[in-house]
Chain A
Amino acid sequence: MPKLIIFILCLMSLSSLLRATEIQTYLTSKGPAVIITNQVAALAQSSNIKINPIQSVNCGSAVQKFKNARTPSAILISHNQYRLSRTSNQDCVVDDFDSAKILFIAHATQEVCTKKNNSIPINRIATLGIVKFSPYNSITEEMNKNVLDARFKHVLFSSSDEILQALVNKDIDVGLMSLSVAAEAIKSGSINCPYSTGSSKFQQNPLKEFTGRDSFVNHESVSFMFVVKNLSVTDEQKLMQSIRSLSTKLSLQHIDETIMSPSKEAVTGFIKRSKSAEYLD
């Protein structure tokens, strides 16, 4: 018995040695954020860098861990960071890029979806699934002014994945979710998405046709910025080299307009959008 245990422990130690080095990557949300990080992780494997995604229960925790990190770390922040800081009264903002480097910026469009063969109910108040990190009050208000005269009340979820699940389970009537999450379900025929805020890959109509006027919700998308710190110059170059095809890969996952090594203007644009979203409710 002792020999058996020693043998097992030796084998386990040997297999541990074969593992790659890791970058702790903090995430503040799920849905497209997970898809983006997983794609980065898959591509980074070729450079023997392991992206280790860690989901935080709240944005303050993720940002604190990232700011205090002394080992190679990364964070995927969304353009809702200022608004989340205000609503949660926690520090959810990453805007000091002196010691950190921005690898890319990505955008995820939003879809208005229903369960397959169901349409948006117009004879009663419909339940609209929205991600709780978004300005849900403003979105619901805007969605209630539409050409079909449909009325909504929002139901808050942690991620687009949960909205999709709730839609499939018939818990809600309509879901506003990321296309990257909805795509597989659209393909398999379990849901259909009649309106989109920026995609027509699945014959969706622009959301403007539903709202019937100019509104911020017509172009509502979630922007993400991937920031790394404490990486050696060599590791940084290796990582950038390995994720050079990220834009194409993310496009296949329905996350478009990815900007690799963004210019100062692109970063300023992201911050500007974050700040403009701060006081939306």
Chain B
Amino acid sequence: MIDIFFTFCLGILSGLLTGLMPGINILLGFMLFLPFVPLDPLCIVLYGIIARIGSQFFGSMAVLYLKIPGEASSYPVLMELKNLKGKDTFRAVMLTNIGSLVATVISSIILFIVLFYNFSKNIYFPILLKLSIFWLLVIIAIFSNRKILTNICVLTTATFINFYPEFAAIGKTHAQSIPIYYFNTQLILIIIFVSQLLWQKIPAASAQSLSRDKTKLELKKYIGKISLHSLFGCVLGLLPQIGATISSYASYTFERLRKNTALDKITASETANNSAAITGWLPLLLFGIPISASEIVLIQHFQKFNLNFEFLQAYGVSTIIILCLLLSGLIYFLIATMLNQKYYVLFGKLMSKKWFSYLLFLFSLLCFYLINSYDLKYLLIHLVIFMPIGYLLHFFRTDLLAVVIGLLLTDEIYYTTYRAIQIYF
């Protein structure tokens, strides 16, 4: 029980940090506290879902209060900010909070039903479907940001690092001097992701004064819309990697086509991404298939520590999950609603300071060093090799999905493809 409580707090912290800080994306926020999470599959899954709910919850807060999108799915809000009048901004804050809470409740209930009735029991997940999802992720990584050549180079390099011991072993048969070195892919990811904080130029937060006028919330008018977009998000959340972002844009476009107000569009987009953030976990929980970068990290963590998803069959687990998710939704809602604007402004000022980024970078590395008991030499070798690579990735504005897939998923893709060839040819 103490482990679940500890995990719950970590998830909330990670969600807050990820949502509010533009330098910390969902994956980095997830990885930052992952080593602290007890090695229990339920705790790790809870941590992942709670952190992701928080990132979506506070992503919109960062935009509305500071005009900085905390995560990609908050860009529709940024686009609509100019259309909001003074008093409307606070209504937008309240409506997105309520929308996020309703979406969390609806998608948590869906998740609970699917897990409780064990829907996966009678569903087969053949190798070709698994392979299709993997290759879809590779395609998304290659075409991300339309930098095909850069993404291919990054993917190839990351794959080479992932397979380095095997390549070196082959090379050793020809040249004995080639060293076999075992890189730690999780440490590499942390160095590359955390070093982004050093290079990233965070725009100064432009805090605006909000009128906290609650009288014109007109909740009845919005509740139907909020429910509809929650369901939208639940379905679109099943799309690999971009589920939350796509659902956010889809709901935004839907409201835009209906020529609704900026408030409608903001509420719709921020509701949909929250439900997508929860249902996006279904393929992983039911079939063990990761469909996003943080799920790839989670599955690698599971494999490293020999964990599996059988815990979901245990009595009461689905109830614990839904209770934790609902409670986290409520806590995020209360924090987001009750916190005074001055805290957001303070936070905005803090995160635009360079020393804060340096401090966060050192803190993260120190945590990983102490918790994983790395050898100092091993850590330094990784730092020397992968910090410059982190800079290059920042310089070329590369989507880090290619790095994650190359480092963590290519071996699974290789073996699954090889297996499919053995079966069908």
Contacts and interface: CB of A to CB of B under 8 A. Distances in A.
A174 B21 CA distance: 52
A89 B339 contact: no
Nearest to B171: A89
Interface in B396-421: 411, 415, 418-419
A171 B126 contact: yes
Given A12-B36, A52-B39, A53-B305, A170 B169 contact: no
Interface residues of B, number: 37
Contacts of B36: 12, 16
Interface of A: 1, 5, 8, 11-12, 15-16, 18, 24, 27, 30, 34, 37-38, 52-55, 57-58, 60-61, 64-65, 68, 71, 88-90, 127, 153-158, 161, 166, 168-172
Interface in B1-27: 2-3, 5-6, 9-10, 12-13
B422 A89 contact: no
Contact of A158 (B10, B339, B415): B415
Contacts of A15: 2-3, 5-6
Contacts of B169: 60, 88-90
A88 B180 CA distance: 11
B258 interface: no
A61 B125 CA distance: 31
A38 B126 contact: no
A89 B423 contact: no
Given A89-B170, A90-B180, A169-B124, 14 more contacts: A12-B10, A15-B6, A18-B2, A27-B306, A52-B39, A55-B303, A57-B411, A60-B165, A60-B169, A60-B180, A71-B373, A155-B423, A157-B419, A171-B126
Interface string B279-308: 000000000000000000000000111101
10 contacts: A11-B9, A12-B9, A30-B306, A38-B306, A53-B305, A54-B305, A65-B182, A156-B419, A156-B422, A171-B126
B117 interface: no
Interface string B371-392: 0010100000000000000000
Q: Say whether chain A's binding surface is mostly helix, strand, loop, or mixed.
A: mixed
Contacts of B10: 12
Contact of A8 (B13, B304, B339): B13
B172 interface: yes
Given A60-B182, A127-B423, A155-B419, A12 B165 contact: no
Q: Which of B170, B303, B306, B343 has the most CB of A within 10 A?
A: B306
Nearest to A173: B423
B171 to A, nearest CB: 9
Contacts of B204: none
B373 to A, nearest CB: 6
Contacts of A34: 306
